[in-house]
Structure 1
Amino acid sequence: MSLSLSPGPEAVLPSDSMFAIQVGPELFRVSGFSLNSDAPSYFTAHFSRNPSATLVLDRSPRVFHLILQHLQGYAVSVDDEIQFTTLFCDAVYFRLPRLLTLLSTSDYHYTCVGGVHFKLPKHLVSEPGNSPNFFDVTSGSVFLDVERVFRSNNLSRPPPLSPPFLSRSPEYFAKLIALLQGAALDLEPCTRRSLILECRYYRFLRLEQQLVPCRLSWNPFSRAPEILLDLGDVKPNGISLPDPPAAEAVSPGEPTAKRPRRTALTTVQYRRPFIDAESPPRDLTLQVGFPHEAAIFRADNANGFYVALYARLLDKFCFVFHKFLSQHGIDLQSFIRRTSDSCALVLPAILSSCHVEVNKRTYEDLASLLDTPRAAEQDPEHSTYFPSLGRGRSIHLTRSIWQPALQGSTLVMVASKIEAVSSIKYFNVELEFL
C-alpha cells in the first residue's frame, strides 16, 4: 500500500520541483514540497514569481542549514542562545510562520550567565510563583519587538539582536537549576542567602520560599502547628488571623464598630506564599536578629513589660506588619514613640513562658533582675518613651524569638526565648577585633 503525500492548502509551489537558493557561498536545492511546508513565506513569494531563477541571499549558511532541516520536517535542536537568536532573526526575515511559532513556544529558555551557556527547561519554572519569571518577561518582549519593528517599518532585514547575556554568577544559576530539578544540596548559610537573592532577581519566587530557612513544628501545649521564620523572611501577604468561630462570624460589609472585640490573645498565623497555599496556616513564630536594636523595659510603676524596636528593626517590622494590622483596625504608627533624635516602636510584651538568658546566664525571673540595683542599667530615654510609667530599667536584646498576637486593638509580643545584655560592660564583651 502506497502513501501519497500531497501539499496542504497553503502550498503555492509545485511539490516535485526543485528550487535553487544561494546563501552566502553555499548553494542549496530545495523541493517545492519542503518550501510549502511553512508557507506563505519569503521563498514561496519569490519562486511563485520567478520559479527558474536562483534566489541569492546574503545570510548565514550555517543558520540556513537549521532552516532547511525545519522545512524538511526534522525537529531542529538549538544548542545555545546565540543559535536561537540568529535562527529567530532569520525566521522573521524569511517570514516562516510555523518556525516562528515553534521558536516562540520552545520548551527551553536559552541564556548566557556570566559567560556560561544554559538551556533551562521551561517546565522546571512553570509552577505558580516561578512563572512568570525574568526569562518569560524579557525574552518574550525582546523577540516580539524585533518581529514588530521589522514588519511595521518594512525593513530590508531584521534589526541586529544581541543574544541574552546576564552578568550574574553561573555557579549560583547552576545550583538553582539543580534545586529546580529536585536535588538536595548541603548549603552553607551564606550560600543559601545568596541563592535567595538570585531567586528574587530571576523571579523564581516559589523556589525562594523553598530556600528560606524555617522550622515547622507542633506545639504540644498550644496544640497548634507552628512555623519559625526570621523576621526578614516574612512576606506581608502571608500573614493572617484564625477564622472567628461560626457564632462570631461577621459579614464583610458590616461596620468595624459592630465587629466582635478580641479580648483573649489571638496568635497571628502565617502561610508561606506558593508553598503553603493549600495547607492550613500555622502560628507564626519570629526569630529577630538585628543585635541591640531591641530592648525590654520594665517601669517602676507598671506591672508589665514592654519591648522597644529601633533603627532597621523598626523599619522592617513596620514593613511586614503595617498592612495586616491596618486591615484589622490597628494603626502601628500609634505605638511609635519619638524623641528629638530617635524613635522606637513600643509594644506590650509577655514574658511569662520565656526562656531568658542575660549576659550568658539563665534567669528564671526577669522582673527581679530588672528590679535589682546595678543588675540592669538605667536607660536615659526610658522616661521619654514612657512618660506615664516613670523610671525604669532595660536589657538590650542580641537575639530573640517571639509570637505576635492581637489583644483588642493592641499588638502584643509573646516572648519564647531571649538572649540579651544588661549593660555597656557586657555589650563590650561581645565586641570583636577587626
Structure 2
Amino acid sequence: MSLTTLPIQTFDEYDPAVPVVLPHEKVYSIQVGYKLFRLSGLSLSSDSPSYFTKFFSHPENKEKVLFFDRSPQVFEKIYNHLQGYSINITNDYEFMHLWSDAFYFGLSGLRKVLTEQDYFASIGSESFKIPRALLQSKGNSPNYFTINAERLLSDNLQVIERKNMMRPPPQRPAVVTGRSSDLFRDLLEVLKGNPSVIKSEEHRLLLMKEARYYRFLELEQRMVSHKVCKGCIVLNLNHLARRGLSNPSPSDKSIERPMQYSRPYIEEPVRDLIFQVDSEEDPGTAVLFLNKRTSLATVVFRDKVFAKLVQVFKGLISGTIVDETSMTFFAGFGRSHTLINGREMKSSWVTDLIGENPAFPSEEERDEKRASKKRKMSDKVEGDVIEIFLKRSMWKLLMRGNLGRLEAVSIDGLTGLGQERIDFL
C-alpha cells in the first residue's frame, strides 16, 4: 500500500493530497549543521515550492547532499512539519528562530502555520505563550501582541528582501520591559474565566491598569467593580467609559429619565446609571452648596473629579456650569441616604434647611447662579449658603432631553474639613 492511500481519518479541512513536485518515493539528503536529515520527495513536496524542491528538481542535484549552516535543533521542527506532523512551539525564541528559517527555506506553508500559532512574548523576566483563542473577542483585539506580531514579522521580511541578505539576521522576539510578569500571569487567568485570582480591590485596579496597557479592553471592563440592583448599575466614576452611556430621554425635554449605561464590549442589558464619587482623599474636590435664599442645591466638582466628568460627560449634557477648573450641577435629594458629620439625616433634611428645591431652575436662576459662583463664598452673608464637603457620594444623572441634573442616592459629608473623618462600614 502506498503512503498516499493509507486509510487514515482526517479533518474535513485537511487536504492529504500532495503534488508530485519531486518523486514521492525518492529519498533526499539534507545536512543541517552537524546533523544529516533524510526526507522523501513526498515530504519535500508537501510544502512547495521551496529552496529544497528547486534544488533537487535539477537533475544534476538529485543525488547531492544539500548543506545548510543552520541550527539542526530548529530544523527538527521543520522536519516534523514536512512529515505532516503538527508542531508544538514552547517559547518566544523558538518561534522566532523557526519563523526565520521558514522564510529562509521558502516554506510558505510553514509560515502560514506559524502566523496561526499562539502569540509569544517575554514580559519581565518570563516567557509567555499566549493562546490566540483568548484574544479573539471584540475589545481584546487588536491588542499589543497582535499589532506587535504583525509589525515585527513584516518589518523583518522587508529588511531581508531590501538588503538581499544571504540569511536572516539575528531576530529577537517581543520583549515587554518594565511590566510585571506576575500581573500578566493573573491577566491570562482572568482571560481564561478564572476571576478568583483577583485578591483585593488594589490588585483589581493593578490588573485593570495592565489590561489597558496591553489593550485588553473587554477584559478591563469585565474586571470593573460594579453592582446591579433594582434595574440600576453602580460604578465608580473613574471606571465610566463615554461609549457606555445612552440617554433615553426624548429630545423635546418632555420626560425626565436617568442616564443609562452598559459596560462597553460586555453583553449585558442597558441599565439606569448610578455613579460613585470618592473624594475623601482630596478634600474640596466634591462640595455641596445649599443656598437658603434661592432654595437651590448645587454640587461643585473640582480637580481630578472635574477632569473625569469632563472626559465622560462634556458635550452630552447642558444645564451645568463649567469653567476651567470646575463643573457645577443642580442637585436633588428626594430619597437619598445621607450622613453629615457621621449623623444620619432624615429624607427631608435639604427641604427643611433651604425650602423646596425646584427640579430645574429657571433661566433667571441659572444666570443668578453663574453670577454668584464668581463671588467667593466667604463674601456671602453668614448662614445664607451651607457648604458641605463630600467624602463619598452616589448620584443618578437625570436627563430631560440634553438638560442634566443630579439626584443624590447616598452621600457622606462634613460641614467643615476639620471634622473627624468617618469611614464607610
Fold-level match, TM-score > 0.5?
Answer: yes
Q: Which residue of 2 aligns with 1:317?
A: 309
Partner SS, residue 404 of structure 1: strand
Sort the Cα spacing of 1:151 and 1:268 in 2 relative to 1 into closer, same or farther, 3 A. same
Q: Is the 8 A contact 2:393 2:411 kept in 1?
A: yes
Q: Is the 8 A contact 1:41 1:96 kept in 2?
A: yes
Letter in 2 for 1:98: G
Q: Structure 1 stretch 300-309 or stretch 13-22: which is displaced more? A: 13-22
Q: Is the 8 A contact 2:295 2:354 kept in 1?
A: no
Confirm whether residue 126 of structure 1 aligns to residue 136 of structure 2: yes
Q: Which residue of 2 aligns with 1:143?
A: 153
Q: CA deviation at 1:51?
A: 1.9
Sort the Cα spacing of 1:62 and 1:408 in 2 relative to 1 into closer, same or farther, 3 A. closer
Correspondent of 1:242 among 228, 245, 248: 248
Partner SS, residue 285 of structure 1: strand
Q: Is the 8 A contact 1:383 1:392 kept in 2?
A: no
Q: Which residue of 1 aligns with 2:4?
A: 5
CA distance in structure 2 between the aligned counterparts of 1:331 and 1:27, rounded to whole angstroms: 80
Confirm whether residue 414 of structure 1 aligns to residue 423 of structure 2: no
Q: CA deviation at 1:243?
A: 6.4
CA distance in structure 1 between the aligned counterparts of 2:352 and 2:296, rounded to whole angstroms: 13
CA distance in structure 1 between the aligned counterparts of 2:130 and 2:204, rounded to whole angstroms: 21
* Deviations 1:371-401, CA, capped at 9 Å, x for gaps: 9xxxxxxxxx9661789x9852211111000
CA distance in structure 2 between the aligned counterparts of 1:403 and 1:151, rounded to whole angstroms: 60
Q: CA deviation at 1:101?
A: 0.6
Q: Which residue of 1 aligns with 2:256?
A: 265
Q: CA deviation at 1:370?
A: 7.5
Q: Which residue of 2 aligns with 1:221?
A: none
Q: Structure 1 stretch 153-162 or stretch 66-75: which is displaced more? A: 153-162
CA distance in structure 1 between the aligned counterparts of 2:415 and 2:44, rounded to whole angstroms: 83
Q: Is the 8 A contact 2:296 2:354 kept in 1?
A: no
- Give unmatched runs, 5+ long, in structure 2: 6-15, 356-371
Partner SS, residue 152 of structure 2: helix
Alignment of 1:109-188 (within 5 A): 109-167=119-177, 168-185=179-196, 186-188=198-200
Confirm whether residue 201 of structure 1 aligns to residue 213 of structure 2: yes
* Deviations 1:1-23, CA, capped at 9 Å, x for gaps: x3463996754322222222221
TM-score w.r.t. length of structure 2: 0.84
CA distance in structure 1 between the aligned counterparts of 2:343 and 2:3, rounded to whole angstroms: 90
Confirm whether residue 192 of structure 1 aligns to residue 204 of structure 2: yes
Partner SS, residue 213 of structure 2: helix
Q: CA deviation at 1:352?
A: 2.0
Confirm whether residue 41 of structure 1 aligns to residue 50 of structure 2: yes
Q: CA deviation at 1:285?
A: 0.2
CA distance in structure 2 between the aligned counterparts of 1:299 and 1:169, rounded to whole angstroms: 51
Q: CA deviation at 1:28?
A: 1.9
* Deviations 1:161-206, CA, capped at 9 Å, x for gaps: 1022223212111212222222241530100000111111121111
Q: Is the 8 A contact 1:11 1:36 kept in 2?
A: yes
- Give unmatched runs, 5+ long, in structure 1: 219-224, 245-259, 372-380
Alignment of 1:353-368 (within 5 A): 353-364=335-346, 365-366=349-350, 368=352
Q: Which residue of 2 aligns with 1:227?
A: 233
Confirm whether residue 287 of structure 1 aligns to residue 276 of structure 2: yes
Partner SS, residue 424 of structure 1: coil
Q: Structure 1 stretch 7-16 or stretch 304-313: which is displaced more? A: 7-16
Aligned residues: 386
Q: Which residue of 2 aligns with 1:298?
A: 290
Sort the Cα spacing of 1:28 and 1:190 in 2 relative to 1 into closer, same or farther, 3 A. same
Confirm whether residue 392 of structure 1 aligns to residue 385 of structure 2: yes
Q: Is the 8 A contact 2:387 2:415 kept in 1?
A: yes
Q: CA deviation at 1:366?
A: 3.7
Letter in 2 for 1:46: F
CA distance in structure 1 between the aligned counterparts of 2:326 and 2:310, rounded to whole angstroms: 11
CA distance in structure 2 between the aligned counterparts of 1:158 and 1:136, rounded to whole angstroms: 22
Q: CA deviation at 1:98?
A: 0.6
Letter in 2 for 1:336: V
Q: Is the 8 A contact 2:51 2:105 kept in 1?
A: yes
Q: Is the 8 A contact 1:382 1:392 kept in 2?
A: no
CA distance in structure 1 between the aligned counterparts of 2:93 and 2:109, rounded to whole angstroms: 20
Confirm whether residue 55 of structure 1 aligns to residue 69 of structure 2: no
Confirm whether residue 401 of structure 1 aligns to residue 394 of structure 2: yes
* Deviations 1:125-170, CA, capped at 9 Å, x for gaps: 2111122222111112211222233234422112321022223212
* Deviations 1:57-104, CA, capped at 9 Å, x for gaps: 111111011111111111111111111110000000001011001001
Q: CA deviation at 1:240?
A: 0.6
Partner SS, residue 425 of structure 1: coil
CA distance in structure 2 between the aligned counterparts of 1:60 and 1:102, rounded to whole angstroms: 20
Q: CA deviation at 1:122?
A: 1.3
CA distance in structure 2 between the aligned counterparts of 1:409 and 1:243, rounded to whole angstroms: 8
Correspondent of 1:425 among 399, 411, 418: 418
Q: Which residue of 1 aligns with 2:111?
A: 100
Q: Is the 8 A contact 1:382 1:393 kept in 2?
A: no
Q: CA deviation at 1:300?
A: 3.2
Q: Is the 8 A contact 1:370 1:394 kept in 2?
A: no
Q: Is the 8 A contact 2:211 2:217 kept in 1?
A: yes
Sort the Cα spacing of 1:113 and 1:214 in 2 relative to 1 into closer, same or farther, 3 A. same
Q: CA deviation at 1:296?
A: 0.8
Q: Percent identity of the aligned residues? A: 32
CA distance in structure 1 between the aligned counterparts of 2:2 and 2:20, rounded to whole angstroms: 19
Partner SS, residue 85 of structure 2: coil
Letter in 1 for 2:278: G
Sort the Cα spacing of 1:370 and 1:159 in 2 relative to 1 into closer, same or farther, 3 A. farther
Letter in 2 for 1:355: H
TM-score w.r.t. length of structure 1: 0.82
